[in-house]
């Protein structure tokens, strides 16, 4: 799967349904038939929407963990807590289960933000706060994660 692109503001109805933005739906077209996995994010108070193919790749890694180590078992339990299989209906809507709506404090306004091969689903207010909070440290983070020492760029 190619990397997903874009950040989209959407609305969620009282039943927890959201209409997938057209641009995002086009990017996800090959994955629409296989469905998705929706789960709690590990580091943020948002949700993560995995195309089934991406979820299966991740589960192959998780399945290699030794289940006879307590920390691995604890990780698997917590990582998969609240995981739901979801599908896009004929109208292009996705239903967010109530327990996941509560976890992410989703109200009416949400943001769907691409995160390489998955989509993060945020309450709009929480998303804006997370982006604002991260702005101050982003330059340092970018240098640490993506920067290379000049020695690494040696010309052959």
Query: Cβ distance 46 to 131 under 8 Å?
Result: no
Domain region containing 73:
7-147
In a domain, residue 114? The reply is yes
Q: How confident is the model at residue 32 (pLDDT cuts 50, 70, 90)?
A: confident
In a domain, residue 95? The reply is yes
In a domain, residue 52? The reply is yes
Handedness of CA 6, 11, 16, 20 (dihedral sign): negative
Q: How confident is the model at residue 148 (pLDDT cuts 50, 70, 90)?
A: confident
Question: How many domains does one find in the chain?
Answer: 1
The single-letter DSSP state of residue 147 is -
In a domain, residue 92? The reply is yes
In a domain, residue 88? The reply is yes
CATH number of domain containing 52? 3.40.1550.20
In a domain, residue 154? The reply is no
In a domain, residue 133? The reply is yes
Measured CA to CA in angstroms, residue 30 lies from 34, 112, 152 at distances of 8, 19, 38
Q: Is the pLDDT of residue 83 over 60?
A: yes
Q: Is the pLDDT of residue 124 over 60?
A: yes
Query: Cβ distance 34 to 52 under 8 Å?
Result: yes
pLDDT in tens, 87-100: 999 888 999 999 99
In a domain, residue 153? The reply is no
């Amino acid at each position: 799967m190619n990397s997903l692109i874009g950040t989209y503001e959407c609305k969620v109805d009282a039943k927890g349904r959201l209409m997938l933005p057209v641009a995002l739906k086009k990017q996800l077209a090959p994955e629409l038939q296989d469905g998705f996995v929706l789960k709690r994010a590990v580091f943020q108070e948002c949700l993560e929407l995995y195309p089934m193919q991406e979820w299966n790749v991740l589960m192959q890694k998780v399945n290699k963990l030794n289940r006879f180590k307590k920390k691995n078992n604890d990780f698997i339990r917590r990582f998969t807590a609240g995981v739901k299989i979801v599908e896009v209906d004929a109208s292009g809507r996705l239903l967010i289960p109530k327990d996941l709506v509560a976890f992410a404090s989703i109200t009416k306004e949400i943001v769907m933000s691409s995160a390489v091969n998955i989509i993060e689903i945020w309450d709009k207010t929480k998303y804006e706060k997370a982006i604002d909070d991260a702005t101050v440290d982003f330059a340092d983070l970018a240098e640490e994660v993506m920067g290379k020492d000049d020695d690494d760029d040696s010309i052959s």
